[in-house]
Amino acid sequence: MTRRFPSPWTAEETQGGYVVRDANKQALAYVYCRENENDAAIAKVLTKDKARRIARNIAKLAEALTPRLPVSYLKSFRLRRVLLAAQSAP
């Protein structure tokens, strides 16, 4: 199965906020902000610090959503591979 939004995702600063992009540079999310709290409150958007943290956390989702095999499965797979190699050796 191919991923529609390949990782790694990155959070890039733009004028007026941040944009989260996938490996193909497709924009996935826009997070708007203002420089200080007063301007952010007036515009009803996030401060720059909060927007940066949210954009980075969105970018981390690609890795968090990647399926991982359990360690026990990986160990048993390695053991089977070693046993098969030993059996096929003369």
pLDDT tens per residue, range 52-82:
999 999 999 988 877 766 656 666 666 667 6
- Asked if 23 and 11 count as a contact pair (C-beta separation under 8 A), the reply is no
- H or E stretch covering 20: strand 17-21
Structure tokens at 54: 């949210």
Q: Does 41 have pLDDT greater than 60?
A: yes
Residue at 3 is within a domain: no
As a residue count, the chain comes to 90
**Side chain identity, residue 72:** S
Per the structure, the complete domain to which residue 39 belongs is given by: 10-88
Find the mean pLDDT for residues 35-45: 94
Task: Give the total number of structural domains in the chain.
Answer: 1
Residue at 2 is within a domain: no
Residue at 45 is within a domain: yes
Q: Does 37 have pLDDT greater than 90?
A: yes
Residue at 80 is within a domain: yes
What's the CA gap between 39 and 27, in Å, rounded? Answer: 26
Neighbouring CB atoms inside 10 A of 10's CB total: 17
